[in-house]
A and B are shown apart, each in its own frame.
Chain A
Amino acid sequence: MPAQKKQAAQTARTPRLPNWLRIALVGRNPKVTLARIVVLTVTCFVVFKFILLPIRIEGGSMLPTYRESSVNLVNRLAYLWHGPQRGDVVGIRLAGFHVMYMKRIIGLPGETVAFVNGHVLIDDKVLDEPYEKYDCDWNLPPVKLDANEYYVVGDNRTMPPQYHTQGVASRDRIIGKLLL
């Protein structure tokens, strides 16, 4: 009978959790729960590290479309089958992926982009920009884009152009399209 005594003593030392709480914490089958946790963790790591990069927006150059301190995701697979399109809001890398610019593509490879009295001219034709809500008075000389270059700019053009980070981004700097 010493084995029974030992088991009884052990049970007395570690009080059993109520059944409903045990199921809520570790599920009916703890092994399956553990496998689910591992799969979920690996999936989250792969998705949020390599496919959908979570970002927090700083600065007001994309107002009013994107507010400061809002959170978004950059889809790195967006341009797997086709190139960036005009109007896309994209993430542009600097030295790495921890800090990036967020801008809108207005000029595509081979085009000539200019600003005249606040209007964007693409190959001398005015670009319709429904996302542009504020007044703008920029005048910038024409810029001819090369084969793998895109012209990017923010939606908030109320400040003088020299205070607004904008210009030509090469294709390899565009890391993905904003998801939301």
Chain B
Amino acid sequence: MKIVFRLVLAAALVALGVWLWFVLFPSPEKVIRKRLMGLAHTASFSSNEGNLARLAAAQNLAGFFATNVEININVPGRIQHNFLGRDEIKEAVLGARSTLGGLKVQFPDINITVVPDKQSAVADLTVEARVSGEQDLIVQEMKFTLQKTDGEWLVTRVETVRTLSILHFEPPRFPSIVLT
């Protein structure tokens, strides 16, 4: 009985050690996932927001991105924007927060690939956004490129992934211009 008790105690201690290890030294995937969830949370807002809060939120959101970040958003029929650098992001966030009644952003699926040197990573994710007062949900697959800078994972590039692509337009059989 004593041996069994000791074995159980040893197993519990090992499990606690493993859990503590993962809590104290999380994997890059876990850190990036947490950071992206934070980004989605910071990007969301409700209508009753003061000017100061708006400014602080824009500052916070810009902090998730590298200074030379490049963002290319192309959601057909909805949004088409390119941003370069943190300042442009701040401006866009302030503009959106003052014009939209509210926004809820979520990343329901995140696939992270960390480069072997563990200094950069790519996250393929689904963005789910709901604008207050609009019935339709905005759903878009996007690719985030991240880089570890001073111990912090910063987004360096954001691009739209065309889930349903139209790539192979067949050349017209009868040319519209006939040279004689």
Contacts and interface: CB of A to CB of B under 8 A. Distances in A.
Contacts of A152: 164
Contacts of A145: 168
Given A94-B126, A142-B170, A99 B108 contact: yes
Interface in B127-179: 128, 136-137, 139-141, 161-170, 172
Contact of A112 (B124, B167, B170): B170
A97 B109 contact: yes
Nearest to A142: B170
B164 A95 contact: no
Nearest to A68: B135
Contacts of B109: 94-99
Contacts of B141: 94-95
B105 interface: no
A36 B108 CA distance: 33
Interface in A47-102: 58-59, 92, 94-99, 101
Interface string A129-166: 00000000000011111100000100000001011111
A163 B170 contact: no
A42 to B, nearest CB: 24
A96 B108 CA distance: 8
A160 B139 CA distance: 18
B46 interface: no
Interface residues of B, number: 26
Interface residues of A, number: 29
A94 B109 CA distance: 8
Given A92-B163, A112-B170, A99 B124 contact: no
Interface stretch (A10-18, A21-29, A167-175): A167-175
A156 B161 CA distance: 24
A92 B77 contact: no
Given A141-B170, A144-B170, A168 B165 contact: yes
Nearest to B123: A95
Contact of B126 (A99, A160, A162, A166): A99
B55 interface: no
B168 A101 contact: no
Given A95-B124, A163-B76, A163-B77, 17 more contacts: A92-B163, A92-B164, A95-B110, A95-B161, A96-B108, A96-B111, A98-B126, A99-B139, A101-B139, A142-B169, A143-B166, A144-B170, A162-B77, A164-B77, A166-B164, A167-B166, A168-B166
Interface of B: 76-77, 108-111, 124-126, 128, 136-137, 139-141, 161-170, 172
